[in-house]
A and B are shown apart, each in its own frame.
Chain A
Amino acid sequence: DQQVKQNSPSLSVQEGRISILNCDYTNSMFDYFLWYKKYPAEGPTFLISISSIKDKNEDGRFTVFLNKSAKHLSLHIVPSQPGDSAVYFCAATRSGNTGKLIFGQGTTLQVKP
């Protein structure tokens, strides 16, 4: 049973516009959430994270929003750039759980010039 779901396999946006990637989770015990980005032929790289005590975390063009009541998080990229084209994975965990992450299936973002 998939505890972390990314229901959109792919997303295409125009350069300069906003990209919104979504992620849903089912386990109410999760209290820490992360986004990773993966380019072809490379391993994933950590992008941004958020603790359940917050509802928003911002890092430059990237903002993660957390809606605990809906068990939903989203990653906003503003403005989107062609170099942002990659697969994005959300991940969730219970803090203190020795690093065990549960990943979503991934969303492929294409940013068109």
Chain B
Amino acid sequence: DVKVTQSSRYLVKRTGEKVFLECVQDMDHENMFWYRQDPGLGLRLIYFSYDVKMKEKGDIPEGYSVSREKKERFSLILESASTNQTSMYLCASSFQPRIYEQYFGPGTRLTVT
């Protein structure tokens, strides 16, 4: 069974703080993704990576950056957290060629106050 784990289930941070969200997958997947889920908006892609040290912007990359130093780990960084980044953050991974059948972690509920 594929397992995607996220470092925290719940996180509360203050405005302006630097925030790190960590994601680890154990199935040697090439592709990893970060989404945020908001009511009425569904899931929106922030960044994705199809190889170590590679990254691509998704639909809403502003205010975020990512790091992928090892194949199994994909980090999402909020350089200076703002209240509009309060959301559920979901990490996913997939392998070629079934790149669209993504395996998701349980999510991190981030609240920025």
Contacts and interface: CB of A to CB of B under 8 A. Distances in A.
B36 to A, nearest CB: 11
Interface in A83-99: 89, 91, 93, 98-99
Contacts of B107: 41-43
Count chain B CB atoms within 10 A of each CB in A34, A100, A101 and give the residue with the most: A101
Contacts of B102: 44, 46, 99, 101
Interface stretch (B43-51, B61-69, B75-83): B43-51
Contacts of B41: 105
A45 B47 CA distance: 19
Nearest to B93: A99
Interface in A62-110: 89, 91, 93, 98-106
Contacts, number: 64
Q: Is the interface of B mostly helix, strand, loop or mixed?
A: strand
B21 interface: no
Interface string B92-105: 10100001111111
Contacts of B101: 34, 46, 49
B100 A89 contact: no
B32 to A, nearest CB: 9
Nearest to A44: B104
B42 A99 contact: no
A103 B48 contact: no
B100 A99 contact: yes
B44 A103 contact: yes
Interface in B3-38: 4, 31, 33, 35
A18 B103 CA distance: 27
Interface of B: 4, 31, 33, 35, 40-45, 48, 50, 56, 58-59, 90, 92, 94, 99-107
7 contacts: A6-B42, A45-B103, A89-B43, A99-B99, A101-B100, A105-B40, A105-B41
